[in-house]
Structure 1
Amino acid sequence: MKDDKDDGELGEAREGAGVEARLSRKQYEKELARLHVELVKLQEWAVHMGAKICVVFEGRDGAGKGGTIKAITERVSPRVFRVIALPAPTEREKTQMYVQRYLPHLPAAGEITLFDRSWYNRAGVERVMGFCTDQQAREFLKGVPLVEQAIIHSGVILLKYWLEVGMDEQTRRLEQRLHDERKIWKLSPMDLRSYSRWYDYSRARDDMFEATDTDSAPWYVVRSDEKRRARLNLISHLLKSIPYTAVPRDKVKLPKRQKPESYRESERLLRYVPERF
């Protein structure tokens, strides 16, 4: 992406209000709208060039992965921006090579795949919660850089983001889910079990970074205690990390509608939805 794409008003606000100042909703929505325009340009470029882009989102429960992915995909095509959030492995998948079930979801030409958690489950939740042995986790950490190198050599642009949420903020967000009927589904029994194991997750994260933060596929850490700022920072970084350019568009004009000829509206009573609002 060209360097002349500036950071908009967000950079000015950070200078005037300080990095920790909370973004207002108005400022956030204005900056997000600007980034949405760029994401549409990225989408058109990916389709035009046949680019293959894979973005991995990792982090603790409540770190903001889902909200960030939603902010990215809000104004783009789900046929291009494909969100992958795999359930627990089946009995058959448990017998496969670990990364095997993720490989079919890697992007083809003209696709951007967003992994809401990924093969790094083995380095995190599976290791901490005892779903794999320490030996299996070590073997995974040793082998995954080779797998990612093969993915990149196949022509995929691979970006890996870790959303880092603080202990107090994670507690606040998980407690909020307990008392909000719209969010209670986000709090699984596994989330509750893993909540108490903060430092086990910290050790697992550190080991993961040590083994898989490579020159060809580095980790990028996003501070996510302030959701709005985290989303804007991540999207901005994503855009700057991909060498896209605006694709020329043909001017579009709506054609004239056909004449009704002999058509008349049917008098049949249709089942309209009641207008309650």
Structure 2
Amino acid sequence: MRQADKRQAIFFDVDDTLYDHLIPFRKAVEQVAGPLGSLEGFPFEKAYHRLRYHSDMLSLALGGAGAMEEGAATEAMRVRRFRLTLAEFGFALSDAEAEAMQAAYIGCQYDITLFEGARALLEELVRQGWIVGLITNGAPAHQRSKIEAMQLDELIPRERQLISGALGWDKPDRRVFQYANELTDTEPANSVYVGDSWRNDVIGAAEAGWTVIWFNHRGAERESEHEPAYVVESFAELRNLFLH
């Protein structure tokens, strides 16, 4: 995938790309919804995708990630996404129950374990001379806590840890990716983006002219006519694309 004499950049999404974002969601649902009814056969992955959808839509209505630092409106949005999501699966949460679910979710969200092979791949890409960075949607302090929990500062300089709430643009806005190119003095043709979200990652990076690797480890459906260059389901597959 490398081209001689070209500055090569590879940026990664964070949530559910570098680590399993489903784990804190599942724990929160089990803790609060479990006593309300049977969770036997509950489609956690499908519900997780719906939570991501409602989170994106409610965040945009609130003003995007730039407005998503701590505050009453942000907290209300985060609680409402749980009510909307669980309602789709037969659980009508009260305000108190939705607040408890949000609290449980945040309570374990920074207990993060990278996907198997993720750190080894990042380390090898850095050794090979790739310009490695992150592009993630979210409030700056919230996302920074996750990055610190994964101990990524030692691999990726902070100036290449791009958080939408600090930039003022949310993925899929192509300006996020254009900014990454300007920051690293790279061209879209020599830039790769790895992410799990079709809506934010595939569409955003593709429309910015980047090579897109869809990390589709949950078997999600395509949502548009955009075409990723590669589709992988694990970091072992991803490693094979770069390391020979």
TM over 0.5: no
Greater relative contact order, per chain length (Cα 8 Å cut-off, separation 6+): 1
The structure number with the bigger radius of gyration is 1
Q: Structure 2 length as normaliser, TM-score?
A: 0.32
Q: Structure 1 length as normaliser, TM-score?
A: 0.29
